[in-house]
Amino acid sequence: VHLVESGGGVVQPGRSLRLSCAASGFTFSDCGMHWVRQAPGKGLEWVAIISYDGSNRNYADSMKGRFAISRDNSKNTLYLQLNSLRAEDTAVYYCATRPQHNTTHWGQGTLVTVSS
């Protein structure tokens, strides 16, 4: 199983960024997918979930309306659109999935830095 995030970088406050998570080694289209972030020196914070087929999505309250999770099962890729970025959105963003109770797969993370 391999999850590889990309798309991070330095962005100015108020701007947008789209993160991607390329999946391989498992049946991506069978699995719900999550984004989790970690600000520098801070703990893990759940961001969003999307169901296996994209029909259901949910977000952490603090990110509703600014972030959008989506997926393309034909490309085995998960996305996170980050809009109206703030300094406090600076974090490593991980994609993750739990195909069974005894397994949770994580990517290596991509760093988003919001700074002028």
Residues binding another protein (CB under 8 A): 32, 34, 36, 43-46, 49, 56, 58, 60-61, 94, 101-104, 106-109
Shortest distance, position 19 Cβ to another protein, whole Å: 15
Q: Which one, 74 or 100, has the nearer CB to another protein? A: 100
Rounded to an integer, what is the distance from CA 79 to the centroid of its chain? 6
- The radius of gyration of the chain's CA atoms, rounded to the nearest angstrom, is 13
Shortest distance, position 86 Cβ to another protein, whole Å: 21
Shortest distance, position 11 Cβ to another protein, whole Å: 22
Q: Which one, 110 or 116, has the nearer CB to another protein? A: 110
Shortest distance, position 84 Cβ to another protein, whole Å: 22
Rounded to an integer, what is the distance from CA 96 to the centroid of its chain? 8
Task: Answer yes or no: are the C-beta atoms of 13 and 88 closer than 8 Å.
Answer: no
Nearest to 78 by CA among 48, 99, 44: 48
The whole-angstrom separation of Cα 108 and Cα 15 is 24
Q: Which one, 42 or 74, has the nearer CB to another protein? A: 42
